[in-house]
Amino acid sequence: MSTSERKFATRCIHAGYRASPASPAVVAPLVTSTTFLLDDASYAHMLAGRADEALIYTRLGNPTLDVVQERLASLEGTEHALVFASGMAAIHAALLACLPRGGGIVAHRELYGSTWDLMVNVLAPYGIRTTLVDLDDPKARKEALAQHKPQVVYCESVSNPTLHVADLPAIASDAHAVGARMLVDATFASPALQRPAEFGVDLVIHSATKYLGGHSDLTAGVVAGREEDLRGVYRWLQLAGGCLDPHSAALLERGLKTLPLRMRAHCANASALARHLAAHPKVAQVLHPSLAAHRSHATAKRVLPDFGGMLSFVVKGGDEAALRCVRALELALEASSLGGVETLVSLPFNTSHARFTPAQRAEAGMPPGFVRVSVGVEDLADLVADFDQALAR
């Protein structure tokens, strides 16, 4: 049986590398060399513009990165994958590979703050127009696509931090109808819960810093898709220099092995904690797709096998009350990032969405008192007790 025919959990461990007499190490070797011996075949690849097909220089390719890229492509069900030094490097390369000068993006209005900043503030001076719309509204989506005729339609599979679950099949279909490429940041879902390429998405992006790495000890990004679509992405990787260090690639390769186990625990804890907080008298609102009251609950049941390890909630009393709650936590840690085994909490108003005005945060579904929680894999009873005592302060 070929690796591609094996189940997801098996591919998390074995895709991309297997010990053999020629390479007997059970764990894929860490190749730290920045450069490699050249020969006639190397020169031929460089002269043909296919430096990615030869071992030349680690910015262009490295055996440790190759293992991780092959495994990620297997997990996403795509032809290929490229790893980057960060999730933002991956987003930047994927966007620019698909956008001509003066091109356009139609994006979901609920986005990670740095993605919004890149699109709205950084790319705009280069003539790239970004239109933010509710992609979950079929009428608004079709009107925006017809009017702006973008080259890229962009959303997050599960939005950061409002947990909106995108109807990827419908959005991808409408994007392709106007000749646009569909790009999706699937960080919150991970391939353990969703493979967006199966829904027609052209390029799948991850901050591998999060669930793919899983231990809050590496920074990396991923773009996965068809070989043809990744050629332009590789060009940006090659020349903008956002390459992943082999040490981080080795940590990522290790983290992928336990992805299914961790995601089951994250999802179970998040769903249970969401139900508990929803009944708390000091909580005004809880956002988690497992809750029937969440606006994406029906979509989530259709496009996800489970509801994810992220949740958000709104503390009564606004941002000051939320900050007091967060500071009173004794187990969960007040820190940015997400997807590690430990529970992390943050307030978007002073972290991920600090560049938003209060009105922009409210329009994007983040009222005062909004707290984002990356639910870890600790014992659920301990997490519930910690949030209860913090809310009681």
Active site residues: 59, 112, 185, 210
The Cα–Cα gap between 289 and 366 comes to: 16
The Cα–Cα gap between 26 and 194 comes to: 29
Asked if 309 contacts 374 with a C-beta cutoff of 8 angstroms, the reply is: yes
Q: What single letter denotes the amino acid at residue 121?
A: N
The Cα–Cα gap between 191 and 198 comes to: 11
Structure tokens at 29: 């070797």
The CA–CA distances, whole Å, from 389 to 280, 283, 375 equal 12, 13, 17
The Cα–Cα gap between 115 and 132 comes to: 12
- Other Cβ atoms less than 10 A from the Cβ of 80: the count is 21
Structure tokens at 330: 């004794």
- List CB contacts of 95: < 8 A, sequence separation 6 or more: 105, 118, 119, 123, 152, 154, 183
- Other Cβ atoms less than 10 A from the Cβ of 44: the count is 12
Tokens 């495994």 sit on residue:
71
- List CB contacts of 377: < 8 A, sequence separation 6 or more: 262, 265, 266, 269, 341
Tokens 């050629």 sit on residue:
231
The Cα–Cα gap between 124 and 120 comes to: 6
Asked if 393 contacts 324 with a C-beta cutoff of 8 angstroms, the reply is: yes
CA angle 97, 4, 23 (to 5 degrees): 95
- Which residue intervals of 241-328 are DSSP H helices? 246-256, 259-278, 297-303, 318-328
